[in-house]
Amino acid sequence: MSALGRSARRRIRAVAWRQWLTVLIGAAVVAAMVLVAETARRDAERHLKAQVLVERIRAEGQAVGALDWQALAITTDGDTPRTVAVAGLVQTGLTKWTSLSAAIAALQSTQPGATATLLQREARGLYTAGRHTLGMYLTGDVKSALALNERTVQPQLSRFDADAEQAAANQAHVAASASRRAAVLYVGSVVVGLMLLLLVGWRLHGLRRQTALAEARRALEGRSEQRLQALIEHAGDVISVLDRDLKVRWQSPSVARLLGFDPKRALGRRAAELVHPDDGPEVERLLAATSQRSGAVTFSTRARHADGDWRHLDVIADNRLGDPSVNGIVLSMRDVTARQALEDELRHQAFHDGLTGLANRALFEDHLVQALARARRHHQPAAVLFLDLDDFKTINDSLGHEAGDELLRAVAVRIASVVRAGDTAARLGGDEFAVLAETSDTEDDAEAIAARLLAAMAEPFTIADRQLWVTASIGMASSDGSIGVKELMRDADTAMYAAKGTSKGTVRPFETGMHRRMLDRLELTGELQHALESEQFELDYQPVVNLRSRQIYGVEALTRWAHPQRGRVAPMEFIPLAEETGLIVPLGAWILRTACEQASRWNRDLPDRPPITVGVNVSTRQLHDPGFPELVRDVLADTGVPPESLALEITESLLPEDGAAVIERLAQLRALGVHIAVDDFGTGYSALSRLHHFPIDTVKIDRSFITGIERDSGKAQLVQGIVSLAESLNLVVVAEGIEEPAQADQLRAMRASYGQGYLFSPPVAPDRMWALLQDPDVLAAAV
């Protein structure tokens, strides 16, 4: 039975007990009143009887006093014989005295006390004196009898009569008082009895109402208990009761739904044995502390489900050992596994990159703070490596953002596969990654990690069912804790930009002078916008020669920055900056227009020769600009340059593996009549078999394949393969970087059409180029 049921039954029993007690008390009071009234009645009857006896005694005494006169009459009456008269008198006297004695004895029995004793004593004296007097009368000594009668009998008789009269009067008063008291008590007992009966009835009515309420409450509590039991059985929470030894004494049936176990399975076992082993000691400590104090304690733990998984539980432990109805520690447990999973997911999202799953900048910097603190304590340096993908924007723009995201995820997998267990790999944003070598003892360890990263990046990536070769530039910096997080990350970032600026796909450790160079680079970036606005850029031109006729076929326009303080700045120093800042778009437009204007003047001034073909380099940003074809059309229209005299050069390493938008843009340019040339051809081997997918006209073999071609048969065979491939595709071939006559001869033998390089001329100013165009024999001698 539950505590609610037991409490209701106790209340009902208490009400019934009060009902019977009220009836008993009422009956006792009524009985007492009746007894008192009856006692008063009997006392009144006793007093009346005593009054009668006193009157009788008085009458008998008067009758005894009359014997003296009767005796005297016997002595003077001569008609009756003396003997007969004496005998009659004696008989009468005996009767009177017997009756008087009986009356006095009855009074003594009925109303013992001083009055009865006094009358008895006086009666005896009167009896003695009367007997003597009577004897004198009988002997004839009348004179002595009269004298004795007058001296003794009559006074005693008077006293007896007075005392009897007084006693009768007193007894009459007492009897009257007793009768009145008895009447009052009878009436009072009746009134009190009636009032008490009314009170008892009213009380019994109230108790019956209480009994009815108690029964109703019991029924309500019974229903509440049933509902409570139903709630307990169907509730999501699990209720457990532990005894003083922290062993499970009872569990609610809902444990079957929560953990998949029978509630009886845990009975008799310690609660700490039923949780995760890692949580057991703490749970034991908390429950022990709860048992020693009042109130509730809240904590979290894990419990194993029947399916083998662990469930996260929120537990409220309430000490009810002092409650007799419970006598235990009540545990209320709720399954918060879903909430915990959500919190873990949110926590993971807060500190991890959503795309790659690596740590994000916040977590990386937090780990770096801890690593630098350990470095200060243990004098063991921590190293940071910054990794940035080379030309990622080109890939992202060419293949699309989905392919770019796929590449970033693949790069993250490779980075995670080569770092050590104690290291932290993170994606800081965009295509920039970082590795924290927390356990690095020396810089060599960081260099080893960097070498593994480069090796991992050397393998081609399969993105959207196509292979891509991607390189990365890595900057490396270490610290023994003497500098902070921002400084160390800045140093690694600086080293990474130095690696990217020197040669892509390399590792550069941080050097002190890099800061100065980085500041110079930042200053150069700031000056780039001003240079564009103030027209500080110039174009040089390098001739492209027909290897067979040894005549200038065309020129390639090359940009130079005439800096007012730095002098002429090489393209490799500012073109990447222009790419990063987006200034390459307006700069490229200026180059295109300037080159076409110059070609138009040359063509106009040299009407007897075929129009000069001018080659202009086009950046990826320009190629992805939807308005670029329209710009080309406008420039051709404004300058009058024939479309076939303009060659737009794109880098072969930037040819997209996929990208309908880029192919469409090239097709739009081809539709204008301009030529499309692939510069630095041969550096991206994946494009050799895909040339026919792109609307191109010319391939320019990179100078790295031309250098040493006259001595290296392997290079010669490779160049021969490129020339043959281009010929089979009806493409024009231009060999770059020709510096030796033997190289020109060998290229002619390979049937290469055109050449470009210092053998013919370095890039020159427009006036020098004009001189070369006017005198074609100038190049003939060199060739």
Question: For residue 219, what pLDDT is reported?
Answer: 59
Question: For residue 762, what pLDDT is reported?
Answer: 93
pLDDT in tens, 341-357: 887 777 777 888 989 99
User: What element of type H or E holds 104?
Assistant: helix 82-110
Intra-chain end-to-end CA distance of the chain, in Å:
116
Higher pLDDT among residues 200 and 251, named by residue:
251
Question: For residue 70, what pLDDT is reported?
Answer: 66
- Strand, helix or coil for residue 3: helix
How many whole angstroms separate alpha carbon 492 and alpha carbon 494? 5
Question: For residue 614, what pLDDT is reported?
Answer: 96
Question: For residue 325, what pLDDT is reported?
Answer: 76
Q: How confident is the model at residue 251 (pLDDT cuts 50, 70, 90)?
A: confident
- Residue 64 CB partners (closer than 8 Å, separation 6+): 93, 96, 97, 100, 126, 127, 130, 157
- Torsion angle of C-alpha atoms 61, 66, 68, 73, degrees rounded to 10: -170
- Residue 308 CB partners (closer than 8 Å, separation 6+): none
How many whole angstroms separate alpha carbon 256 and alpha carbon 238? 9
Q: How confident is the model at residue 686 (pLDDT cuts 50, 70, 90)?
A: very low
Give 669-682 as a DSSP string: HHHHT-EEEEEEET
Phi/psi at 27 (5° precision): -65, -40
Q: Which strands make up the sheet holding 432-437, listed edge to edge?
A: 424-429, 432-437, 382-389, 472-479, 507-509
Question: For residue 443, what pLDDT is reported?
Answer: 53
Question: For residue 658, what pLDDT is reported?
Answer: 46
Neighbours of 191 (CB within 10 A): 11
Residue 80 pLDDT > 70: no
Nearest to 54 by CA among 10, 126, 104: 104
Both tokens assigned to 30:
């009524």
Question: For residue 632, what pLDDT is reported?
Answer: 96
Percentage of the chain lying above the pLDDT 70 cut? 76
User: What element of type H or E holds 375?
Assistant: helix 361-378
Give 118-159 as a DSSP string: HHHHHHHHHHHHHHHHHHHHHHT-HHHHHHHIIIIIHHHHHH
Question: For residue 206, what pLDDT is reported?
Answer: 66
How many whole angstroms separate alpha carbon 760 and alpha carbon 780? 9
Question: For residue 104, what pLDDT is reported?
Answer: 76
- Strand, helix or coil for residue 399: helix
- Strand, helix or coil for residue 304: strand
Residue 535 pLDDT > 80: yes
Question: For residue 82, what pLDDT is reported?
Answer: 59
Nearest to 77 by CA among 95, 89, 64, 60: 89
Interhelix angle 401-418/392-399, nearest 10 degrees: 140
- Bridge partners of residue 298, in order along the sequence: 316
Q: Which of 189-193, 227-231, 289-293, 396-400 has the highest mean pLDDT?
A: 289-293
pLDDT in tens, 493-513: 988 988 887 777 889 898 877
Question: For residue 381, what pLDDT is reported?
Answer: 86
In the chain, what are the helix, strand and coil shares in percent, each to the nearest 5?
60, 15, 20
pLDDT in tens, 27-46: 777 677 667 767 766 776 77
In 532-627, which ranges are E strands?
Answer: 537-546, 552-563, 567-569, 613-617
User: Which of 11-15, 584-588, 598-602 is predicted least confidently?
Assistant: 11-15
CB 330 within 8 A of CB 304: no
Q: Tell me how many helices (H) and strands (E) the chain has.
A: 24, 21
Question: For residue 726, what pLDDT is reported?
Answer: 87
pLDDT in tens, 394-410: 778 777 889 899 999 99
DSSP state of 685: G
Residue 690 pLDDT > 70: no
Residue 4 pLDDT > 50: no
Residue 548 pLDDT > 60: yes
Residue 131 pLDDT > 60: yes
Q: What is the CA radius of gyration of the chain?
A: 69
CA distances from 235 to 229, 232, 310, 496 (A): 10, 5, 20, 60
- Bridge partners of residue 311, in order along the sequence: 303
The rounded mean pLDDT for the chain is 80
In 349-399, which ranges are E strands?
Answer: 382-389
User: Which of 130-139, 540-549, 577-586, 626-635 is predicted least confidently?
Assistant: 130-139
- Residue 764 CB partners (closer than 8 Å, separation 6+): 540, 541, 542, 772
Query: For residue 394, how far is the Cα from the chain centroid?
Result: 45
Question: For residue 684, what pLDDT is reported?
Answer: 55
User: Which of 41-45, 267-271, 674-678 is predicted least confidently?
Assistant: 41-45
Q: How confident is the model at residue 649 (pLDDT cuts 50, 70, 90)?
A: very high
CB 458 within 8 A of CB 349: no
How many whole angstroms separate alpha carbon 255 and alpha carbon 308? 15
Q: How confident is the model at residue 628 (pLDDT cuts 50, 70, 90)?
A: very high
User: Which of 318-332, 578-592, 681-695 is predicted least confidently?
Assistant: 681-695
CA distances from 151 to 64, 148, 299 (A): 16, 5, 120
CB 102 within 8 A of CB 194: no
Residue 457 burial (10 A CB sphere; 0-12, 13-18, 19+): buried
Question: For residue 228, what pLDDT is reported?
Answer: 44
User: Which of 69-83, 196-210, 378-392 is predicted least confidently?
Assistant: 69-83
User: Which of 39-48, 279-288, 563-572, 595-604 is predicted least confidently?
Assistant: 39-48
Both tokens assigned to 337:
């596994």
In 652-752, which ranges are E strands?
Answer: 675-681, 698-701, 732-735
How many whole angstroms separate alpha carbon 310 and alpha carbon 279? 12
Question: For residue 610, what pLDDT is reported?
Answer: 87
Residue 502 burial (10 A CB sphere; 0-12, 13-18, 19+): exposed
Question: For residue 64, what pLDDT is reported?
Answer: 67
Percentage of the chain lying above the pLDDT 90 cut? 27
Mean pLDDT of 246-260: 85
* Region of residue 379 (phi > 0: left; psi between -120 and 50: alpha; otherwise: beta): left
Question: For residue 698, what pLDDT is reported?
Answer: 92
- Residue 95 CB partners (closer than 8 Å, separation 6+): none
Interhelix angle 584-605/571-581, nearest 10 degrees: 130
Question: For residue 777, what pLDDT is reported?
Answer: 63
- Counting every residue written for the chain, the total comes to 783
Would the pTM count as exceeding 0.85? no
- Strand, helix or coil for residue 467: strand
User: Which of 161-175, 575-589, 657-671 is predicted least confidently?
Assistant: 161-175
CB 401 within 8 A of CB 430: no
pLDDT in tens, 706-720: 998 988 888 899 899
Question: For residue 776, what pLDDT is reported?
Answer: 64
Kindly tell me the sign of the dihedral angle through the C-alpha atoms of 66, 71, 72, 74: positive
